[in-house]
């Protein structure tokens, strides 16, 4: 396998042999002034559709850089279809949650405003920038879809019937997460749902328990912070039903 460049960039443009891809001011600055790269240096590019490609810096300017796409390093490959629906938390833990959930392979991040959610506004652009940076670092071939914050009931009103929900329930009836996952049919779309620092209100839990395809699970005897709970549940899901039997690319 062609040696993998250490630098990876997410780009919007199509990737094919001979294509010339332009990246914007911030990425040009990052390549030239942070990484001190120069024309001819290799960069791995991915766009979420065409796999990962070896490219070389062709031209650099103040406002942009042009990269010449050479050969494909990896074809696009299927990734787990796992959403994270989460009651947003304050800025620093949210930055952390978005980055780590991206590393843990979520395909979508959906902020859900619940009755006890204290955070009103969620900056989608900031979440997207954190997700792109984490996707570049962890060598995944996609960037998770980032949605605007909606109320939990709005999200449930348009919920796809076939998508199963792993409800992290700190109170009431719940099965230990590993026991539930080991008995679940593999495959199919899933979502992890976690509540706010103040927890779900009983009316929300009652609604969720009546909702089809909702499976309440416990994450042990300790009350986890909302971001910890989300990441713990995502890790359990990947380990049992997800792609953690695979190995990182090109490191056999």
Find residue 151's DSSP bridge partners: 113
Instruction: Classify residue 222 as exposed, middle or buried by CB count within 10 Å of its CB (0-12, 13-18, 19+).
Output: exposed
Among 195, 214, 236, 241, binds ligand SAM (CB under 6 A): 195
| Distance between CA atoms of residues 186 and 190, nearest Å | 10
Among 50, 73, 194, 236, binds ligand SAM (CB under 6 A): 194
Q: Are 15 and 69 in contact (CB under 8 A)?
A: yes
Scan residues 18-37 and list those touching ligand SAM (CB under 6 A). none
Q: Site map for ligand SAM, 202-221, x if CB under 6 A?
A: ----------------xxx-
Question: Rule CB under 6 A: is residue 147 a binding residue for ligand SAM?
Answer: no
Scan residues 42-101 and list those touching ligand SAM (CB under 6 A). none
| Distance between CA atoms of residues 239 and 243, nearest Å | 7
125 CB-near residues (< 8 Å, 6+ apart): none
Among 146, 226, 236, 241, binds ligand SAM (CB under 6 A): 226
The candidate with the shortest Cα–Cα distance to 162, out of 189, 192, 180, 193, is: 189
Question: Rule CB under 6 A: is residue 223 a binding residue for ligand SAM?
Answer: yes
Question: Rule CB under 6 A: is residue 170 a binding residue for ligand SAM?
Answer: yes
- CB of residue 25 to ligand SAM, shortest distance in Å: 39
The contact set with ligand SAM (CB under 6 A) reads 168-171, 194-195, 197-200, 218-220, 222-226, 229
């Amino acid at each position: 396998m062609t040696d993998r460049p250490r630098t990876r960039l997410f780009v919007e443009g199509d990737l094919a042999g001979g294509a010339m891809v332009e990246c914007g001011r911030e990425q040009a600055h990052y390549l030239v002034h942070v990484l001190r790269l120069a024309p001819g240096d290799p960069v791995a590019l991915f766009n979420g559709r065409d796999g990962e490609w070896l490219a070389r810096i062709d031209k650099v300017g103040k406002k942009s850089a042009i990269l010449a796409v050479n050969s494909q390093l990896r074809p696009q490959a299927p990734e787990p279809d796992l959403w994270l629906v989460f009651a947003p938390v304050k800025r620093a833990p949210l930055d952390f949650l978005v980055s780590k959930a991206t590393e843990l392979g979520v395909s979508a991040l959906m902020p859900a405003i619940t009755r006890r959610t204290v955070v009103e506004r969620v900056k989608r652009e900031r979440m997207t920038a954190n997700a792109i940076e984490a996707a570049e670092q962890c060598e995944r071939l996609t960037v998770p879809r980032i949605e605007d914050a909606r109320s939990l009931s709005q999200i449930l009103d348009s919920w796809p019937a076939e998508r199963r929900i792993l409800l992290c329930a700190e109170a009431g009836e719940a099965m230990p997460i590993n026991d539930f996952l080991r008995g679940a049919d593999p495959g199919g779309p899933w979502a992890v749902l976690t509540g706010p620092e103040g927890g779900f209100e009983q009316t929300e839990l009652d609604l969720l328990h009546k909702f089809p395809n909702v499976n309440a699970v416990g994450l042990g005897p300790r009350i986890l912070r909302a971001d910890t709970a989300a990441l713990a549940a995502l890790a359990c899901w990947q380990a049992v039903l997800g792609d953690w039997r695979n190995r990182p690319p090109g490191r056999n």
